[in-house]
Every structure is written in structure tokens, then in C-alpha cells.
């Protein structure tokens, strides 16, 4: 997110590596494995890493960026530096259902007939499109794979969030574009031709990658582990210097707890020598980074409890505006605050009721 006054007040913190502008130069981070940076402009992010896994058939790529013409140009440019063209990409691996990760997949599949690999629960739109006012917070948690509940959750933009806030509608231009794309039948969401599950082995890039299902940031998040060389493609699950957004609008009853379990799972993967994240630089200490991310959330939970003591019974929005800086206020901040409050409630450290206006009111102990 742009900082309006950065020229007047030099930032006290250096730029996070995940914010760095995409570099044109590609780099070989392991034998037959290239890091290619694609440009994105999202809050706190300046690039996404597309990894190219080279083999005798051409290349598999991981997370090919946004569904935009400029991204497509960047893909062609980065591949060309490795002597490749889009038609040489035989497999596209998508770590999770966010547009900066799957956006280039549909185009690559169209150009080269590439296989599209993602977790079998891959689904875009669940967390971004809420809420039918008839769907209660309990319905949402219990919905799971229930299609009827899912359809109802997807029913509208302009309804309330489970905690009673107003869900902001995406800009009209974007809604019309999506509607048009759907009408024309070429959605930017790729068709997953090879759905995978935990423990499956994917043979690409002269390596055998073990699929690890790591829900939390999204339900369908996967990491890929090469035990032979100790390589770990971590997607957004474990990033070097920022923590991924944990949405309260997940089907999991306790998304934060789900994320903790997935961090424990990643930390327990033996002998990882190099972590290849979707944003930022490759790094080495996977258990250490998993531990630090958990500690960040434990600190946040303590802060939420302290805020609760200051505020007394309060809405999710009120909690979020104490927890986050004003420039971050909004639905994403509320969603993450809601995930933390629900985690506390399920641990017996908070109580909740719905007030007459339909807002959830939390009280921490």
C-alpha cells in the first residue's frame, strides 16, 4: 500500500523484501530451479516469485502471477532469459487460490496445453465473496464442503459479514469485467486438470516433490518438498519477513488454529536446506521462521486480550481499529481480528453475543 507522506517522513523501517519491485534478472537458486520475479502491486507486495523447474520436457512453473497482459509479457521475458517459451511449460503448479498466484495459469494452459496442478480443494471466491444475510456465523463454520451452504455464501457481495460489518462491494468496473468474463466463458480462474492431495508425489523438474497440504492462509494451500535436496516451496504459508493474512471468512471454525497446525507441520519437515517463498528471498531456517510467525500471532492474541480489557464489550470493528493502524482499517483487518477473537473464544478466553443491530459483541476475560 502506498504511503502518502513517505517523502515527508522517511520510513523508519527498511523496505520489507516482499515489497521489493520485481527484478528482470532471473537467478538459479538450486540446480535446474530458477527464481523469476513477476510484478504485482498489492498492499505490502511488490513481486511474486514464479519458480521454473527445468527438465528434459521443458519446464514446470510455480505461481505464474496475475491475470494481466503486463504479467503475460513478464512471463515471456523471464522464460526467454532461460531459453524457453510459454509452449515449453508443461505443468503449472498453483500453491493456493489467490489471483497473484494462479492468474497466469489459465493463459499458460491455453498456450501450451500445460497441466494445472493445485490442491483438490482449490476454489476461488469463497473468502472474497460474502455474505448472504441468511447465513449465520455458525452456518459458515459448519458449511464445510456442503454445496448448498457454499452457494448461499457466494450469493451476494452487498450483505453483512458474519461479525455484522458491511462487506464492501468491489468496484463496479471490476464486477462488470468479471461478469463479462464469466458470460464469455473464459474465466481467469484456471481449470485444475491435476488435483492433488497431501502426500502425493509430483515428478517434475528432475525432482520428486512431495505435496504438503498447509491450510490456514487459504484452505487449499499447498507446499512442495523435495526430500533429496532439502528444498521447500513454501508459497505464502511461510514468508521471510511478513506474515500471511489469516481470514476469518474461512470454512474452518478456527482458521488461526488451522494455520498453527500447518506451521507445526512445516517446522517438522526434516532437513530442509532452502525455503523458496512466493514473495521475498529464499531463506534457510524453516523451523525458526515458523516459530517466529506463531510467536507473532501469540503476541497479537495477548494484544487482543489487552484491548478487550480497555474497551470492555466491543465490536470486531472496534477491536480491529485498536489492533491495526488506520491505513490498514477495513474488511481485511476486521476479518483477521475476527479470526483472532474466534480463536480466543474457542479457547475459552472470550465470550460473544449478537446485539440488537446484528453486530457480534466480544468480551475478553
Sheet containing strand 350-354, edge to edge, reads: 314-315, 360-364, 350-354
Pair 311, 319: CB distance under 8 Å:
yes
**Shortest distance in whole angstroms from residue 136 CB to Zn ion:** 27
Q: Which is nearer to Zn ion, 100 or 254 (CB)?
A: 100
Q: Which is nearer to Zn ion, 220 or 236 (CB)?
A: 236
Number of chain positions touching Zn ion (CB under 5 A)? 2
Q: Which is nearer to Zn ion, 98 or 300 (CB)?
A: 98
Q: 74 exposed, middle or buried (CB, 10 Å; 0-12, 13-18, 19+)?
A: buried
98 near Zn ion (CB under 5 A): yes
**Shortest distance in whole angstroms from residue 63 CB to Zn ion:** 8
**Shortest distance in whole angstroms from residue 235 CB to Zn ion:** 7
Ramachandran bin of 35, using left for φ above 0, alpha for ψ from -120 to 50, beta for the remaining angles: beta
Least Cα distance to 112 among 77, 84, 82 occurs for 84
Angle at 340 between CA 356 and CA 43, to 5 degrees: 105
Binding mask 50-89 for Zn ion (x = CB under 5 A): ----------------------------------------
340 near Zn ion (CB under 5 A): no
Distance CA 220, CA 120 (A): 7
Pair 213, 202: CB distance under 8 Å:
no
User: What's the DSSP call for residue 18?
Assistant: G
Among 93-101, 205-213, 317-325, 352-360, the segment contacting Zn ion (CB under 5 A): 93-101
Among 10-18, 96-104, 323-331, 343-351, the segment contacting Zn ion (CB under 5 A): 96-104
**Shortest distance in whole angstroms from residue 43 CB to Zn ion:** 11
**Shortest distance in whole angstroms from residue 245 CB to Zn ion:** 7
Distance CA 256, CA 162 (A): 16
- Find the binding residues for Zn ion in span 277-316 (CB under 5 A): none
- Among 18, 219, 226, 236, which residue interacts with Zn ion (rule: CB under 5 A)? 236
| Alpha helix segments (H runs only) across the chain | 69-81, 99-102, 105-112, 137-143, 147-153, 172-184, 255-267, 286-311, 316-323, 331-346
Pair 232, 225: CB distance under 8 Å:
yes
Among 98-106, 136-144, 248-256, 353-361, the segment contacting Zn ion (CB under 5 A): 98-106
Q: Which is nearer to Zn ion, 47 or 98 (CB)?
A: 98
Q: Which is nearer to Zn ion, 98 or 119 (CB)?
A: 98
Among 75-83, 154-162, 230-238, 312-320, the segment contacting Zn ion (CB under 5 A): 230-238
**Shortest distance in whole angstroms from residue 169 CB to Zn ion:** 22
**Spatial CB neighbours of 357, under 8 Å, sequence gap ≥ 6:** 164
Interacting residues with Zn ion (CB under 5 A): 98, 236
Amino acid at each position: 500500500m502506498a504511503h502518502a507522506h513517505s517523502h515527508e517522513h522517511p520510513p523508519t523501517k527498511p523496505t520489507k523484501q516482499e515489497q521489493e519491485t520485481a527484478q528482470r534478472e532471473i537467478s538459479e537458486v538450486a540446480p535446474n530451479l530458477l527464481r523469476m520475479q513477476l510484478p504485482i502491486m498489492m498492499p505490502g507486495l511488490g513481486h511474486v516469485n514464479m519458480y521454473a523447474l527445468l527438465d528434459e520436457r521443458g519446464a514446470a512453473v510455480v505461481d505464474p502471477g496475475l491475470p494481466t497482459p503486463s504479467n503475460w509479457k513478464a512471463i515471456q521475458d523471464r522464460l526467454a532469459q532461460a531459453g524457453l517459451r510459454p509452449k515449453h511449460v508443461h505443468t503449472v503448479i498453483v500453491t493456493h487460490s489467490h489471483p497473484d498466484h494462479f492468474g497466469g495459469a489459465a493463459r499458460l494452459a491455453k498456450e501450451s496445453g500445460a497441466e494445472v496442478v493445485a490442491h483438490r480443494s482449490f476454489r476461488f471466491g469463497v473468502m472474497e465473496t460474502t455474505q448472504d444475510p441468511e447465513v449465520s456465523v455458525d452456518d459458515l463454520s459448519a458449511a464445510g464442503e456442503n454445496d448448498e451452504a457454499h452457494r448461499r455464501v457466494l450469493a451476494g457481495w452487498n450483505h453483512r459479514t458474519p461479525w455484522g460489518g458491511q462487506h464492501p462491494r468491489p468496484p463496479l468496473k471490476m464486477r462488470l469485467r468479471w461478469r463479462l468474463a464469466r458470460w464469455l466463458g473464459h474465466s481467469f480462474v484456471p481449470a485444475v486438470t491435476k488435483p492433488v492431495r497431501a502426500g502425493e508425489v509430483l515428478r517434475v523438474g528432475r525432482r520428486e516433490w512431495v505435496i504438503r497440504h498447509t491450510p490456514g492462509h487459504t484452505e487449499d494451500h499447498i507446499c512442495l518438498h523435495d526430500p533429496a535436496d532439502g528444498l521447500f516451496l513454501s508459497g505464502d504459508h511461510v514468508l521471510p519477513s511478513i506474515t500471511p493474512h489469516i481470514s476469518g471468512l474461512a470454512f474452518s471454525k478456527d482458521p488461526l488454529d488451522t494455520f498453527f497446525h500447518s506451521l507445526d507441520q512445516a517446522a517438522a519437515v526434516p532437513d530442509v536446506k532452502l525455503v523458496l517463498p512466493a514473495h521475498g528471498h529464499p531463506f534457510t531456517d524453516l523451523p525458526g521462521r515458523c516459530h517466529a510467525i506463531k510467536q507473532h500471532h501469540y503476541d497479537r492474541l495477548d494484544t487482543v486480550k489487552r484491548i478487550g480489557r480497555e474497551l470492555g464489550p466491543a465490536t470486531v470493528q472496534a477491536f480491529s481499529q485498536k489492533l491495526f493502524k488506520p491505513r490498514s482499517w477495513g474488511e481485511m483487518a476486521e476479518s483477521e481480528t475476527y479470526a483472532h477473537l474466534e480463536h480466543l473464544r474457542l479457547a475459552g478466553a472470550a465470550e460473544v453475543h449478537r446485539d440488537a443491530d446484528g453486530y457480534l459483541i466480544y468480551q475478553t476475560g
